[in-house]
Amino acid sequence: MQNYIDLARKNGITLLDTGRCQFCGANTIKGVHECVEIFNLGFQSLDYSKAENHIYRFISVDAHTLQHPEIHGRWNNHFHLLRLHLIFRYHMAWNYELSPKLSDYLNAYKIDKQHEFLTPPAISKRGHITTTDVLSHSESASACKEMIKKWGQEVYQSWGNYHILVDEIAKGFMEKTKSIKKK
């Protein structure tokens, strides 16, 4: 797996080392590097080892990735938007077993869709909540959960141009996982 600095370089992006995050606008001092660091350290008021908190990990990963698509591979947009769609639109109780199944499903999907590309919303239009907002409004586990959910929903809505497309993919995935469970 490539790190975000290598992917940015590959994508022709110069990462800024100072000021706000150049992608999500988070109120940082060290730019995107601090934003990624905050995200990687997690939000300390949540214990992600507890199964009931896993959903918030998925939502935060998806939100952060979709706010920073320039530092990820191009098919990540499909994966993370699709997972948020399944969580918010279809209220799927996401778990760690489903992520590799979704990845496999997308790998099969993209064979015939090599030129499909989800163009990210403009940098200032990917949702207003950022890592620093979640961090500063997470005085308790319940407040942190609420902020993560709002963050995920904002970012999800900002990618609204692709909801119809991911809905079609989601329906196929749900049909396939239903048949997997029956086996």
Give 118-141 as a DSSP string. -PPPPGGGS-S--HHHHHHT-SSH
State how far the Cα of 105 lies from the Cα of 152, in Å rounded to an integer: 23
Residues 37-89 have pLDDT tens digits of: 999 887 878 899 999 999 999 999 999 999 999 999 889 999 999 999 999 99
> Domain segments of the chain: what residues?
4-110+122-182
Backbone angles phi, psi at 114, to 5 degrees: -55, -25
Please determine, for residue 166, whether its predicted confidence score (pLDDT) is greater than 60.
Answer: yes
The secondary element (H helix, E strand) that includes residue 104 is: helix 98-110
Q: Would you state the structure tokens that stand for residue 69, as one six-digit string?
A: 């698509």
Band (2; pLDDT cuts 50, 70, 90):
low
pTM over 0.85: yes
Residues 123-151 have pLDDT tens digits of: 989 999 999 999 998 889 999 999 999 99
Q: Residue 154, Cβ neighbours under 10 Å: how many?
A: 16
Residues 25/18, Cβ–Cβ less than 8 Å? no
Question: Side chain identity at 166, as an amino acid letter?
Answer: V
Residues 20/29, Cβ–Cβ less than 8 Å? no
Work out the mean pLDDT of the chain and round it to a whole number: 93
Residues 65/73, Cβ–Cβ less than 8 Å? no
State how far the Cα of 95 lies from the Cα of 58, in Å rounded to an integer: 8
For residue 118, the number of C-alpha atoms closer than 13 Å in the C-beta half-sphere is: 27
Q: 9 in helix, strand or coil?
A: helix
